[in-house]
Amino acid sequence: MARKGRIGRKGRKFKESKRKRQKSSVDEATLIRLNKQLEEFRASEDEVYTFEAGLSWNERSVIHQLCWKMGMKTKRSGGGCKVSGRKRCISVYKNKKVSTMKGLDSLHCLEFSEVAKEVLMDLFKTLSTW
């Protein structure tokens, strides 16, 4: 029977780890607490928020997912290695906002010919039916 596995970098096959296959699950109270922390950070003027180092793998995974949904970026630090004693933690960064007021005077309006408008409309109609 053939072994199931994905092909990784350099063409080598590897099995998905058990942890990757498991759904990241935390209890509802923890999910609410993490979501509240992220919402407060997003509303603040701070540029970066670093979570405490004692989070479980599931909690860190949920943070990554919530940040992705909220449009923020995450970066992990620390090795999680018992020998070195460093614990893994997550820092959350806000995406830089582009000011909509700056540069409005330098914007140019594009005008299309009637033929180009028809081609674009056909393209949008085709894409919207997918």
- Residue 22: phi and psi, rounded to 5, are -75, 145
For the segment 46-77, what is each residue's pLDDT rounded down to a tens digit?
999 999 888 888 899 999 999 999 999 999 88
Taking residues 8-30, report their average pLDDT: 62
- DSSP lists the bridge partners of residue 77 as 89
In angstroms, the first-to-last Cα distance of the chain is: 38
Does the CA dihedral 71-76-80-85 come out positive or negative?
A: negative
pLDDT surpassing 70 at residue 19: no
Give this prediction's pTM: 0.54
Question: Do residues 33 and 41 touch, judged by C-beta distance below 8 A?
Answer: no
Can you read off the two tokens belonging to residue 12?
Answer: 């080598």
CATH of 22-96, one of 3.40.50.720, 3.30.70.60, 3.40.605.10, 3.30.1370.50: 3.30.1370.50
